Amino acid sequence: MLDKEQNFILGLYPTTKLLFTLLMIVSVFLIPGYVYAYSTIIIYCIIAGMAGKLNEYIKLIFKTMLILVIVIFAMQAFFYPGTDVIWQWKFLSIKKEGIMYGLSLTSKIVAFAGSLMLFFRITDIKDFVISLEKMGLPPTAAYVVLSTLQIIPEMKKRSEVIMNAQKTRGVEIEGGVLTRAKAFIPTLGPLVLSAIAGTEERAITLESRAFSAPVEKTRLYEPKDSKVDRILRRVILLVLIILIVGRMIQWIL
């Protein structure tokens, strides 16, 4: 909570950050060429740095996208049909058309995935769900969204607890791929059972708090939708409209 009050980026209303994410995603498909799409990663890094999340964001980008982007680019460079051959060895050949298409495709993947990763790095999931409820999303649907977004982190935490418990019992969980695979298989049973038990506990907790009661819900904490947020949303919408109209004019002409 203190971080949100002290940091401008973290303190922005979730809808404002969501609208900016939408703007970046749409702009990649409206502005032609791969240069702009790749340059968006610089914008994302600047925003992540302003939020104090730069190291986390860069690590996340490298872990999740680097290999995927390289593989997709290589596949397009080698196998995309074309006539302008740049390099050839036996049956393998790199064509200019494949390189250009690979750059175009991977740049959009980087821009699209990078914007979503940034959004979830600088946005509290609970604040995001509350903002969706304020926009008219039913509480039941909001809970489904929250549970879906939290399921992977929750499963990761539970798996770490189970693996540590196995380690204290003398089970070898460190070493090569085969050793880790053998150690992971026995954890699947407790992991699934704990997830089912956790779901039942949450359902009981929600019912004890009258979650399904047909009354207006109240909260101890709600994210603030400031005047700055409202101004930023208007500016973002204006830029988005200009981009769409400009692109439509280009298509017509």
Helix (H, G, I), strand (E, B) or coil at 5: helix
Give me the pLDDT at residue 177, please: 66
Cβ partners under 8 Å of residue 142, min gap 6: 129, 130, 132, 133
Give me the pLDDT at residue 213, please: 67
Domains of the chain by residue range: 8-123+223-252, 130-209
Rg over CA atoms, the chain: 23
Write out pLDDT tens, residues 203-223.
777 666 666 667 676 777 788
Alpha helices in 80-135 (DSSP H): 96-122, 125-134
Nearest one of 232, 225, 4 to 134, comparing CA atoms:
225
Helix (H, G, I), strand (E, B) or coil at 85: strand
DSSP lists the bridge partners of residue 95 as 85
Query: What is the pTM assigned to this prediction?
Result: 0.79
Give me the pLDDT at residue 129, please: 86
Nearest one of 92, 91, 155, 114 to 25, comparing CA atoms:
114
Write out pLDDT tens, residues 16-58.
999 999 999 999 999 988 999 999 999 999 999 999 999 999 9
Mean pLDDT per block of 10 residues along the chain (253 residues) reads 73 94 94 92 95 93 91 91 82 87 94 94 89 81 75 76 74 66 70 72 69 69 88 96 91 81
Backbone CA torsion sign across 206, 2, 10, 152: negative
Give me the pLDDT at residue 231, please: 96
